Amino acid sequence: MTMNTDVRPNRRLSKLALTINLSLFATLGSAGIYAQEAASDDAANVEVVSVTGTRIPRAEIVATSPVTSIDEFQLQLDRAVNVEDIIFKLPQAPGDGASGSSATTIDLRALGQNRTLVLLDGTRAVPFGFRNAVDVNAIPAGLIKRVDVLTGGAAAVYGADAVSGVVNFILDDDFSGMEFSTSYEFPDGGAEQFNAEAVFGGDILDGKGHLTGFVSYSDRDALLAGERDFAMLNSTSVVNTGGYYTDVASGNSFGIADDGSITGEMNTNDVTAASYLVSPMTRKSTGLFWDVDLHDNVTFYGRAMYSRVEVMSAGSVGQTPVSVNETVTLTSDNPYITDDIASRLTFDDNGQAQVTVNRNLGLGLQRTRTMRDTVQFQAGFKGDITDYLRYDVYAQHGKTEETDKVFGSGYDTSASGSSTFAAIANTVDLFDPSVALSSLETTLIYHDRERTQNVAAITFSGESTPLFELPAGPVSYAIGYEYRREAGVQMPGDAFRLGTTFSSGSSAEIDASFYSRETFAEVLVPLLADMPFVQQLDFEGAYRISSYSNTDADNTHKLGLNWTVNDDWRLRWTRQSAFRAPNLGEFAGPVSGLSLALFDPYSDQFISRLAGRFEGDPCLLGTGDADQCARYGAPAVGTEWDSSTALYTYGGNPDIRPEKADSTTIGVVYTPEYVEGLDVTIDWYSIEINDAIWVIQPAAALQNCYIDNPVAGNPLCGAVLRDEETGFITTALVNDFNVSTFIQEGLDISAQYQFAAPEAMGGDFTLNYSANLVTEAKKKLDPTLLFEDCKGTYGTACTGDYASSLQADYKHRLSLGWGLDAWNVQVSWRRIGDVDYASDRTIGISAQNYIDVAASWQATGELELSAGVDNLFDKEPPVPSAGATRFNTVSGYDVVGRSVGVSLRYRPSL
């Protein structure tokens, strides 16, 4: 049985594709076909390969762990420019689509990006931040040969962080010849993408080595909210540049309209239209891969990769224009104060009036430019010690350097500590809406960040043939040792460190590191072979002993069975434990504090955008349990209290512990001989995460401690501290705690059927289907609460640390392709199932469907042309009546709309 790998779908913004040909064992993709072919060859003539989910090399792409694979042909037909184009279409990854932020990360199964391990060719990719997330747009999409998505925990094989799964990007490091490619995507109104890439490769040193290199450039234009109707349904209004003025002495207030006229109310402007819906991005990258045979049994290999990603985004400070709202002294000799304005102000004998000015500075929307340089060097040696024993030793160094600069802001406080606005209040025309206070504008450094990762590992693998063989075959194994050091340094700009900026964000200094030492072993034991109902039965086991410098670490294991019933049926089962060590941000993030009054709706310092995080002291309001209030020494009901004397603190927790997880998968692979061309794979998975890290807001802690569960020893009571003498709240600790439990169960389904087209048409049809069906998803945010049903929901109530807000319980991609000689045509249907608002199940979003079409033409032996349309019917994202997370919709839906794309690939004959 062969597979027409030339039939591959289109898709631009997310170039994910699901050619997923469904493997016989490990992969749900075309790997299954390769496995069949490899199994039929003599083992002595088959080169061993690496399989995602195990470190034991083998002669066929087969393993117990379920792996979804997306192959190179699908990626090319999808015209993937950035890796986010690929990830967005994975049913297992509720991606954010066209990113509005400075980085694109992967969040498998909506369990959090920090619980997904990202690999490059089986080794760790370099994180860019302190929560271990990887900016996957630093990976060259054009050089990806395959993307493997491993379901469930894999800590015994790869170490910590592989809790919800692993995404392994397999790069084409064995390319020969030259290839030039370019593509262009043009949606309506913005987010256009251009990409150009050159790849070269060939043998060196008289055939003793091979060298592959690439140079890539891609550019994405901005898409502004004003280009999409759904993004403009609600306004983001700010005070205008005319301003609103209140005379302190008399209380008189007046505003200046955009036309310069005086009004009795505040005048505002809607700034939504100029906001980024999709951030502009430029990426330049280059890399070199090599392997050289130094000896019959020694191969020197490695890679060197560099990328520079520049993104202009909302950043941490947002896009809202900065404004002032402060009381200043205006003088009677101010040349810009007209008689009409002067009549509304109260000047004292010295000709001074105290006036509260609320005015947009006129500096435009705030923008944050992120410059991120990522490098990774890897060098290693591998080879055969004997015919049955191999070694692989490598070391790699990765570093991400990032600088974030904020535009459209400035210092609100001078070096001497005085107000910069007050200093110019009488030297510029505050009352002229056309005047921008540009003298206050300064480009600010938000932070400089350096994130490094060093890994060294050695692995020995082989089989037991020299010593013994079981009746079903030799035992295969791998043993090894790995050292890893993670470090991060962040230096905030002075304005954000000291809080002397018009912007609302803050940044703190971080300098932290940790290291791990781990020993691991894997074994593959053939139990039975060539028996009735048992063509082959294998056992897989793995165990990893871990030691971390910053925390206790759990040893992890993997147990698996792989049962080939016959040529039609294969069954597999795995049981794995995993853990996630506290990352740099969780255990070493500096503790910062703000006045609790900013979060207190009963305080005149309250900021509305901070609503919901603190809702007052239940003991003072009379809503708390009296016995519990007395137990913790709270003051009497109705006692006056100034919340500005208390702090809202946030940051790392040095006492944080690792998260623990257990995952089970049971799968079946059906490849019937009597239905040629049909492959079906179904995997059931169950993931349970305990001691999950969660941030508890003071409102939730107080609600639980004093109202919902007012018992002695409630652990959430310790999240809000009281003064031992007065009983007043002194500190709300908004830190990370090991208090949550997440459970998710579901099915990964994939099927492919290739069959001959009607004779009148010629060629072959290929039908591909890949889906994720969540049967259970629930979260207990702390031990005192009941489990909350999060299956098929959206909104922040069910999101965890860096988890996606869209948690659909069904997603699929179904495609029909037709291959005829030099032509391939494909129609794809993407579906995101209906979801309910997690905070109110009476509100929901219906299922969303998207249709994509694509075609490729092998014009000559050297030239291939492709074209396609994503979101053919220009489906807009849904606009729920409540719970929108971004521009009136929910992150995870297509915000770009219809997008037409073309690509050209030229490979000259050499």
Report, as an integer, the average pLDDT of 435-463. 96
For 352, the token pair is 């001074």
User: Looking at per-residue confidence, does 255 or 799 come out higher?
Assistant: 255
**Which segment of 509-518, 577-586, 858-867 scores lowest on mean pLDDT?**
577-586
DSSP state of 815: E
DSSP state of 704: I
Q: Can you give 82-102 as a three-state secondary structure string?
A: CHHHHHCCCCCCCCCCCCCCC
Q: What residues form DSSP beta bridges with 305?
A: 287, 376
Q: Give the DSSP letter string of 198-261.
A: EEEEEEETTTTEEEEEEEEEEEE--EEGGG-GGGGSS--EEE-SS-EEEETTT--EEEE-TTS-
Specify which of 138-147, 227-236, 427-436, 695-704 reaches the highest per-range mean pLDDT.
427-436
pLDDT for 29 beyond 70: no
| Per-residue pLDDT, 561 | 95
**Which segment of 365-369, 494-498, 504-508 scores lowest on mean pLDDT?**
504-508
Report, as an integer, the average pLDDT of 865-873. 93
% the chain with pLDDT above 70: 90
Q: What is the pLDDT of residues 367-376, one digit of tens each?
A: 999 999 999 9
| Per-residue pLDDT, 799 | 74
pLDDT for 103 beyond 60: yes
Contact residues for 236 (Cβ-Cβ < 8 A; gap 6+): 270, 271, 272, 275, 320
**Which segment of 69-73, 347-351, 428-432, 465-469 scores lowest on mean pLDDT?**
69-73
| Per-residue pLDDT, 131 | 80
pLDDT band at 43 (very low <50, low <70, confident <90, very high): very low
Element (H, E) at 626: helix 626-631
For 94, the token pair is 């509720």
Q: Is the dihedral of CA 467, 469, 474, 477 positive or negative?
A: negative
| Per-residue pLDDT, 37 | 34
| Per-residue pLDDT, 430 | 96
pLDDT for 33 beyond 60: no
Give the number of other Cβ atoms within 10 Å of residue 634's Cβ: 22
Specify which of 44-58, 483-497, 881-895 reaches the highest per-range mean pLDDT.
483-497
| Per-residue pLDDT, 163 | 87
d(CA 65, CA 684): 11
The answer to whether 851 and 862 have CB atoms below 8 angstroms apart is no
pLDDT for 203 beyond 80: yes
Q: How many helices (H) and strands (E) does the chain have?
A: 11, 44
| Per-residue pLDDT, 44 | 36
- Whole-structure pTM value: 0.85
Domain spanning 31-233+277-318+368-408+443-586+658-696+737-906: which CATH class is it, in words?
A: mainly beta
Instruction: Give start and end residues of each alpha helix (H) in 23-101.
Output: 31-40, 72-77, 83-87
| Per-residue pLDDT, 800 | 61
Report, as an integer, the average pLDDT of 368-397. 96
d(CA 118, CA 803): 16
User: Looking at per-residue confidence, does 575 or 20 come out higher?
Assistant: 575
- Long-range contacts: 783-790, Cβ < 8 Å, 24+? 783/715, 783/739, 784/704, 784/708, 784/709, 784/714, 784/715, 784/716, 785/704, 785/708, 787/741, 787/743, 788/838, 790/838
pLDDT band at 81 (very low <50, low <70, confident <90, very high): low
Q: Give the DSSP letter string of 364-430.
A: -S-EEEEEEEEEEEEEEEEEEEETTEEEEEEEEEEEEEEEEEEES--BSB-TTS-BHHHHHTTTS-T
Instruction: Report the side by side order of strands in the sheet with 835-837.
Output: 806-807, 793-794, 835-837, 840-845
| Per-residue pLDDT, 119 | 92
Specify which of 35-44, 62-71, 449-458, 792-801 reaches the highest per-range mean pLDDT.
449-458
> Of the candidates 904, 849, 843, which has an alpha carbon nearest to the alpha carbon of residue 874?
849
pLDDT for 710 beyond 60: yes
pLDDT for 25 beyond 70: no
Report, as an integer, the average pLDDT of 662-680. 93
| Per-residue pLDDT, 435 | 96
pLDDT for 784 beyond 70: no
Specify which of 346-350, 653-657, 885-889 reaches the highest per-range mean pLDDT.
346-350
3-state secondary structure (DSSP) of residue 857: strand
d(CA 313, CA 782): 34
Instruction: Give start and end residues of each alpha helix (H) in 552-610.
Output: 584-588
Q: What is the pLDDT of residues 215-248, one digit of tens each?
A: 999 999 999 999 999 999 988 889 999 999 999 9
User: Looking at per-residue confidence, does 351 or 611 come out higher?
Assistant: 351
pLDDT for 38 beyond 70: no
pLDDT for 42 beyond 60: no
pLDDT for 148 beyond 60: yes
pLDDT band at 432 (very low <50, low <70, confident <90, very high): very high
pLDDT band at 144 (very low <50, low <70, confident <90, very high): confident
Domain range annotation of the chain: 31-233+277-318+368-408+443-586+658-696+737-906, 237-270+323-360+412-439
Instruction: Give start and end residues of each alpha helix (H) in 244-372.
Output: 339-342
Average pLDDT, the chain: 87
CA 592 vs. chain centroid, Å, equals 25
| Per-residue pLDDT, 695 | 77
| Per-residue pLDDT, 27 | 29
pLDDT for 536 beyond 90: yes
- For the chain, the distance separating the N- and C-terminal CA atoms, rounded to the nearest angstrom, is 33
pLDDT band at 18 (very low <50, low <70, confident <90, very high): very low
Angstrom distances, CA of residue 724 to CA of 13, 522, 713? 57, 55, 17
**Which segment of 44-53, 67-76, 351-360, 421-430 scores lowest on mean pLDDT?**
44-53
pLDDT band at 79 (very low <50, low <70, confident <90, very high): low
**Which segment of 223-232, 280-289, 727-736 scores lowest on mean pLDDT?**
727-736
Give the number of other Cβ atoms within 10 Å of residue 613's Cβ: 16
pLDDT for 26 beyond 50: no
Report, as an integer, the average pLDDT of 761-789. 88
Amino acid at 695: V
d(CA 397, CA 462): 27
d(CA 318, CA 406): 10
